[in-house]
Each structure stands twice: as C-alpha cells, then as structure tokens.
Amino acid sequence: RRVGWDERLVNESYPWVERQIIHQPKLAQWQGAFKNSLLDVGVSPYNGFTYDHIHGTKVGGTLFDHFGRRHTAAELLASANPKMLTVLVYATVQKVLFDQTAGRRPMAMGVIFKDENGNQHQAFLTNNRRSEVILSCGAIGTPQMLMLSGIGPKAELDKLNISMVLRNEFVGKGMADNPMNSVFVPTNRPVEQSLIQTVGITKMGVYIESSSGFGQSQDSIRCHHGILSAEIGQLSTIPPKQRTPEAIQAFIKRKQDLPHEAFKGGFILEKIARPISTGHLNLVNTNIDDNPSVTFNYFHHPHD
C-alpha cells in the first residue's frame, strides 16, 4: 500500500498468470510412486493438485502442457495492447543513473541499457507522476546492480574504483539460498523423464521433491548436465571450496569408468524452505554480464 499498489489487482494477477501459462501435470509413474511413498511415511494429508504451499503432499503446477510444450512469461505479452507496447529483445540494464544535486539525497532518475547489438541507450523518468522505470534484477542481480551503480559497501566500491553515490554496508550481505540434499536412486532400466511434480512439505519447513529419467548414453556420460551435474551443480560430490579445476577433471575421468546403469534412475531432493545460514556477494569486475562471486554458507548455522 505504501508504494501505491492496488492490493486487489495484485492478488488477482496470480490466478491470471496461472491460467495463462501454468498447467496440471500428467503424473509420471515415478511421481505417482513417490507421492504414495511420502504419504506412507506420514507426510500428510494429501492435498491433491494445488499451487498453495501447505503441509502435506501435493502435486504442483508445471510450465509444460500435455503436448510437452514449455510455456514462458513471454506469452503474457499476447494479452497486451501492441499499440501501447514496445519490446526490446536482449536489452539489459548496465547501471542506474542518479540525480546527485548537492545537498539532496541521491534520487534514481533513469537507467543505461544495452540493446542486442551492444549499443547503449538511456531511459529517463519524466515529470509525469505516472512515469516509471521498473527494473527487475533478482536476488543476485539486485545487489550487483546497486554496487555497479554506486550504492554499496565503501570497500567493495573502492576495490573496483566505482564512484560512490550512497554508502550502504548492507548491500550484498545476508545472501541466502535453500540448501539441498539429494539421494540418487539407480534403476536397472530407463525411467520415464519427469521434472518436479510431487512435493512433500513437512511441518519443519522441509520440502521433499523428486525427478526422474536421467538415463545417459555412453556419449552423454562424458558431459556435465548443468545444475544436476556432479561436477558443477548443486549435486556436486566435491565441496565448493575444494572444487578446483584439477579436482573437477579428476572426477570427470573417474565418472567415465562408472557402469552405464549408474546413470539410470532418479533423484530424491530435500530442501530447507527458510534457511538461517547467510553469506555475502562480491563483485568480480565492473561488467554486468559477468556473474558476481556469491557465498551462501550452506548449513553454516547448526539449526539448518
């Protein structure tokens, strides 16, 4: 309310988005077995298909429709008036611009952004009270953008010779992420591929999920698979601080000697909803396109 949002309109937007791009999944056999297992061990009641995060076992929504087609937020643009909308593809903000008139608190007045060809442009607020520049950067991009724009800890800005607009020692602090434990369940035959469909939510704030169908060919065993990679992802067998290039290469070499069956099956994942452990974010350089350095300190707090 303090920022002038229409509370009714905000609450109506969630089901509108759900109707546009979210679907009820066709429950895979693995997911059905996982659902029954959760109920057997007491993660109850069964709440059926729901978007709500409530205690018990449920089936959540998916971006994939029944034809296997993935839907995205870009499809929401179909509901807009094309005469009132200009979409710039691959346009990314480089920094926020501030009015730094002497004697006044710095005030954001616009942004510098780069188009798909690498050319820089500026977008400014006007004197119209309804004029807005809405910048969405996410949990990691927001402190990075603030520091690159001159708002952040003095030592962090001085390190990269960034002109200070406003000193704020809290920017980049308190970084938290849901820590995850996983169990890989191998099978002696390929399993139907499924992403997260069934979720168990315990009263302790633990989310238990599962995915399946990670059977690999002889060629793909020699590849890494993003966040599910044992080399670089959350499922890594190498602790982050020991994840040197040499250690990763040694693991890749050992992985090639594993039996083919070890790459068939699925994962059972456990995540903590509200971790107490926190870390920090630091800039690596002044290029917004480069990822900052983030330390989450997973499981640092004994409660986690």
219 domain-assigned: no
Q: Which of 249, 251, 258, 257 is nearest to 235 (CA)?
A: 251
Residue 225 has pLDDT above 70, yes or no: no
Q: Please name the residues in contact with 261: beta carbons below 8 A apart, sequence gap of 6 or more.
A: 186, 187, 188
Residue 60 has pLDDT above 80, yes or no: yes
How do beta strands 198-201 and 293-295 pair? unpaired
Render 13-26 in DSSP notation, one character per residue. Answer: HHHHHHHHH-B---
Q: Residues 25-47: pLDDT tens digits?
A: 999 999 999 999 999 999 999 99
Q: Name the residue with higher pLDDT: 239 or 179.
A: 179
147 domain-assigned: yes
Note the pLDDT of residue 187: 82
Strand partners, 103: none
Rounded distance between C-alpha atoms, residue 128 and residue 107, angstroms: 16
Range picked from 11-20, 48-57, 78-87 for highest mean pLDDT: 48-57
How do beta strands 46-49 and 56-59 pair? parallel
278 domain-assigned: no
**pLDDT band per the 50, 70, 90 thresholds, residue 220:** low
200 domain-assigned: no
Q: Residues 168-177: pLDDT tens digits?
A: 999 999 999 9
**pLDDT band per the 50, 70, 90 thresholds, residue 56:** very high
Average of per-residue pLDDT across 146-161:
96
Rounded distance between C-alpha atoms, residue 278 and residue 34, angstroms: 31
Average of per-residue pLDDT across 181-186:
82
**pLDDT band per the 50, 70, 90 thresholds, residue 229:** low
Residue 158 has pLDDT above 90, yes or no: yes
Average pLDDT of every residue of the chain: 86
Average of per-residue pLDDT across 148-177:
96
**pLDDT band per the 50, 70, 90 thresholds, residue 267:** confident
74 domain-assigned: no
48 domain-assigned: no
69 domain-assigned: no
Note the pLDDT of residue 303: 87
Range of the domain at 90: 86-174
Q: Name the residue with higher pLDDT: 85 or 224.
A: 85
Q: Name the residue with higher pLDDT: 130 or 292.
A: 292
Region of poorest pLDDT, from 79-83, 201-205, 258-262: 258-262
Whether the CB-CB separation of 204 and 271 falls below 8 Å is answered with no
Note the pLDDT of residue 253: 74
Domain tally, the chain: 1
Residue 148 sits in a domain whose CATH number is 3.50.50.60
**pLDDT band per the 50, 70, 90 thresholds, residue 90:** confident
**pLDDT band per the 50, 70, 90 thresholds, residue 55:** very high
274 domain-assigned: no
Note the pLDDT of residue 216: 56
